[in-house]
Amino acid sequence: MTILLSRTDSIGDLILTLPMTGIIKEFLPEARIIMLTSQYAEPVAWYSRHVDTVWSWQQLLQEPDARRLALLTEAEIDWCIHVFPHRTIATQMREADIPHRVGTRSRLFHWLSCNHLPPVSRKHSSLHESQLNTQLLAPLLGKSWRSNALPLEHLAAYTGLVALQPLGDSFRARLHPAKFNLVLHPKSQGSAPEWSQESYKRLIDLLPRDQVHCVLTGTEREGEQMTELIDYALARGAESLVGETTVDELFALLAAADGIVASSTGPLHIAAALGNHALGLFTPRRPMHAGRWHPLGTHAETLTATIQCAGCAAHAQPKRSCACMDAITPEQVADRVRRWL
């Protein structure tokens, strides 16, 4: 049996979809799992031991329509589960005559493209994102699948994320061999409200420099937005790998480091799923709160502001600026990191 899971948004979303793969393999050990991802998130999907093949949707789109349809048909896919709703993908799967196509009934286009419509509603749910994802397995697993939501600690065990690529020598030299290597990932590419750069500066000052080695990460574009923070960190003995890593290299770095502090973003979820210490900083605003996006892992933690700012109360945009995030103090974060030591 071949099962395709379609999740074509960001890395963090993909990580919280991976428990579906472990559950499928537990119930259907011989199943072949294909992950359809975004091109950016594609490298991460290969690191789950439960995933057999990974396709990038952007790469498929580069194929002529007839060739793309032929590729889908030749794969002999038995089930397609649309974890992330996407009208074009749903239409393509129907045109490929995949026998079983699963999509939430809350999307009108799923009524036209899918033949299994489980009543999964995300908008007003109090469940975690990974719990909502696994509800989509009900049509596939039938009565053998429990309908109640699995606890998060159980779901974390199903992710199957493993570090397959060792960290290169040039990056390993930037870590400290005798200190706790703490990754600080200040930006989120606009996917979530961010803690202020001033707070990260204060955190660097509060952490014991003889015990903690801070490493800043982020994309090259994000680096242009935090030059002052980078200079501040470097002057205090930290390292900056901002703009220097590919997704694969960042994955290897997170596996080799000891912990991370970040907002709700992909690197936070990677580090947590690998079993490292991971502290996520969250707004209380729904649906971006920790209850929905708590990282999965045995050492995953969150901090949420105890107040809700006016922007949160009004569900204001853009996501990346949120006054309540500043209510999380550097002292609170430093205290959590000290406990890890």
Per-residue confidence (pLDDT) for residue 178, from 0 to 100:
97
With 0-12 CB in 10 A as exposed, 13-18 as middle and 19+ as buried, what is 62? Answer: exposed
Q: Which residue has the tokens 């049509």?
A: 139
Could you give the domains of the chain?
2-156 (3.40.50.2000), 170-340 (3.40.50.2000)
Name 62's Cβ contacts closer than 8 Å, sequence gap at least 6. Answer: none
Output phi, psi for 190, to 5 deg. Answer: 80, 5
Per-residue confidence (pLDDT) for residue 311, from 0 to 100:
65
One-letter amino acid identity for 129? E
Name 84's Cβ contacts closer than 8 Å, sequence gap at least 6. Answer: 6, 7, 8, 9, 13
Dist CA 7 CA 11 (whole Å): 10
Cβ atoms of 81 and 6 closer than 8 Å? yes
pTM of the model: 0.94
Per-residue confidence (pLDDT) for residue 312, from 0 to 100:
65
The span from the first CA to the last CA of the chain, in angstroms, equals: 46
**102 beta partners:** 81, 116
Per-residue confidence (pLDDT) for residue 336, from 0 to 100:
97
Per-residue confidence (pLDDT) for residue 326, from 0 to 100:
86
Cβ atoms of 18 and 50 closer than 8 Å? yes
Q: Which residues of the chain have pLDDT under 50?
A: 318
- Beta strands 212-216 and 239-240, pairing class: parallel
**116 beta partners:** 102
Per-residue confidence (pLDDT) for residue 196, from 0 to 100:
93
Per-residue confidence (pLDDT) for residue 23, from 0 to 100:
95
Distance of CA 225 to the CA centre of its chain: 22
Cβ atoms of 68 and 92 closer than 8 Å? yes
Per-residue confidence (pLDDT) for residue 318, from 0 to 100:
47
